[in-house]
Amino acid sequence: MTNRQLLLVSRPSGEPTRDNFKLVDTPIAPIGDGQLLVRHAWLSLDPYMRGRMNDKKSYAPPQPLNEVMIGGTVGEVIESRHPSFAPGDQVVGMGGWQEYSVVSGGIRKVDTSRIPLSAYLGPVGMPGVTAWYGLNRICEAKPGQTIAVTAASGAVGSVVGQLAKAKGCRAVGFAGGPDKCRYVTDELGFDACIDYKAHGDPKELYGALKAATPDGIDGCFENVGGAAFDAVLRRMNEHGRIALCGMISGYNGEPIPLRDPSILLTSRLMLQAFIVSEHMDHWPAALTELGTMVATGKLKYRETIAEGLAAAPEAFIGMLRGKNFGKQLVKL
Helix locations, the chain, DSSP H? 48-52, 126-133, 155-166, 178-182, 202-212, 227-235, 262-266, 283-295, 312-320
Of residues 96 and 322, the one with the C-beta less far from ligand NDP: 322
Question: Are 286 and 133 in contact, with CB atoms under 8 Å apart?
Answer: yes
Interface positions with ligand NDP (CB under 6 A): 46-48, 127, 130, 151, 153-157, 175-176, 180, 223-224, 245-246, 248-249, 274-276, 319, 322, 324, 327
Q: How far apart are CA 104 and CA 14, in angstroms?
A: 36
Q: How far apart are CA 263 and CA 259, in angstroms?
A: 10
Q: How far apart are CA 145 and CA 220, in angstroms?
A: 11
CB 153 → ligand NDP: shortest distance, Å?
6
Closest among 22, 28, 24 to 2, alpha carbons compared = 28
Of residues 47 and 240, the one with the C-beta less far from ligand NDP: 47
Q: How far apart are CA 16 and CA 53, in angstroms?
A: 9
Q: How do 146-149 and 217-222 pair as beta strands?
A: parallel
Helix axes 283-295, 155-166, angle to 10 degrees: 80
Of residues 5 and 130, the one with the C-beta less far from ligand NDP: 130
The letter for the amino acid at 29 is A
Q: How far apart are CA 1 and CA 31, in angstroms?
A: 12
Of residues 127 and 291, the one with the C-beta less far from ligand NDP: 127
Q: What are the φ/ψ torsions at residue 289 (nearest 5 degrees)?
A: -65, -45
Q: Report the b/e string of 187-196 with b at 16+ CB within 10 A.
A: ebebbbbbbb
Closest among 36, 20, 140 to 69, alpha carbons compared = 20
Of residues 101 and 324, the one with the C-beta less far from ligand NDP: 324
Of residues 89 and 222, the one with the C-beta less far from ligand NDP: 222
Reported as type and span, the H/E element at residue 75 is: strand 73-80
DSSP 8-state class, residue 208: H
CB 154 → ligand NDP: shortest distance, Å?
2
Of residues 157 and 313, the one with the C-beta less far from ligand NDP: 157
CB 274 → ligand NDP: shortest distance, Å?
5
* 3-class state of residue 206 by DSSP: helix
Of residues 169 and 224, the one with the C-beta less far from ligand NDP: 224
- CB-neighbour burial class of residue 328 (10 A; exposed 0-12, middle 13-18, buried 19+): buried
CB 88 → ligand NDP: shortest distance, Å?
30
CB 224 → ligand NDP: shortest distance, Å?
4
Of residues 213 and 249, the one with the C-beta less far from ligand NDP: 249
